[in-house]
Amino acid sequence: MKLKKHSDVVIYRTDRTYNAFPNIARLHDGRIMIAFRQAKDRAAEYGFTTHTDVTGKGVCVFSADNGETWDAEPSGIYDFPLGGMNDTNMTVLSDGTVLAVFYRWRSFMEADAGTVYPWDTVQEVKGRRFVWRLDGTYTLRSRDNGQSWDEPVKIVYSDSLMEIHSRGRAVEMRDGSVLLPVNGSTPFFRSTAVFSSIVRSFDSGKTWEPYAEIAKSDSVDFYETTIYRSPSGLFTAFLRGIARGDKADANLYLSYSDDDGVSWTEPARAPFPSSSTVFDVLRLPDDRALLTYGYRLKPFGIRARVLEPDCRRIEESEEVVLRDDGLGTDIGYSSAVALSDDRILVVYYYYHDDGNRHIAGTICRYE
């Protein structure tokens, strides 16, 4: 069986907003939900685009007809007015609870920030200097299929001062616990090499405890890890690795665990270019795994690979070009879901000549 592209679709866009970092899931009521980050489009005002904005908030759209149509206006998930937030990622648990995970920023005028740390991001806009500081990763829960959400709970990483961030979906274990991949550095984010680890929750993400370390290196920062459990129980970590001395040197790294994510193999760089992006994995009907990712090298676009059930021998997988009409690197963050008619919908953010970042998708068939 092979993956074949069918068509491209636009799911949500407006002229005034910057929409990015989507995550898609099928709910227990049969609808499909896409969560994404929405912010004011600053391109005309600032002269550049940015992923840090005080208007950044988590929103979602729903489809009740297998992805044919989507809400015209998004519903709110979470808004943090003191700095904005990024990357609302969803995992639908076995009891129907939608677990949403996001990380947020605090924003200060430089004069009000006090100490500006090496791990802060300083941004100059029209002669004013702003400081952006990671404020940690938080979880929300919906028990009514995304109609309402409880209050955010911060993931406290032991008694460390470290702030962490997360992009990958959580994995629900047989004992009901939830494993979540996170990334951080000690004592503060980016002050030393960024490593990848796992935290565990026994109460749908209200409280967390350290569980395992996946990957740590003096020469490579590991960001936005996705963990995937194959039908055999083998875990694979798909890590976004970026060389500490050269941000242009970025690629997919892989690590494996055969003891429920407690211990991991040394991360190995994938033997093909995949650039600086995040990776999503979807189980296919024949138990093979669909890997999708933004391709931030020329020709820019979206790509995919069908992997063996245990995600081994990735070098033997065939790369499928879903799109190659991208205009630059600010694209991707793919996420895929199986539709009810044997099709697959891969969503991501994209833009064309007008520069408007919007939520788009590619419909594929696996046959």
Tell me the pLDDT tens digit for each residue of 30-89: 999 999 999 999 988 888 888 989 999 999 999 999 999 999 999 999 999 888 999 899
For residues 36 and 85, is the Cβ–Cβ distance under 8 A? no
How many Cβ atoms sit within 10 Å of the Cβ of residue 109? 10
* Predicted pLDDT of residue 187: 62
| Contacting residues for 354 by C-beta, under 8 A, at least 6 apart | none
Q: How far apart are the first and last CA of the chain?
A: 5
Q: Sorting pLDDT into bands at 50, 70 and 90, what band is 160?
A: low
Burial of 205 per CB tally in 10 Å (0-12, 13-18, 19+): buried
* Predicted pLDDT of residue 189: 60
Q: Sorting pLDDT into bands at 50, 70 and 90, what band is 159?
A: low
**SS3 (DSSP) at 110:** helix
188 pLDDT exceeds 70? Answer: no
* Predicted pLDDT of residue 111: 87
Residues 282-328: tens digit of each pLDDT: 999 999 999 999 999 999 999 999 999 999 999 999 999 999 999 99
What is the average pLDDT across 210-237?
A: 96
Architecture of domain 3-342+354-366: 6 Propeller (2.120)
3-state secondary structure 225-253: EEEEECCCCCEEEEEEEEECCEEEEEEEE
| Contacting residues for 316 by C-beta, under 8 A, at least 6 apart | none
158 pLDDT exceeds 80? Answer: no
The DSSP-derived string for 18-66 is EEEEEEEEE-TTS-EEEEEEEEE--HHHHSS--S--TT-EEEEEEESST
239 pLDDT exceeds 90? Answer: yes
Q: Sorting pLDDT into bands at 50, 70 and 90, what band is 202?
A: very high
Sign of the Cα pseudo-torsion (54, 55, 61, 67, in order): negative
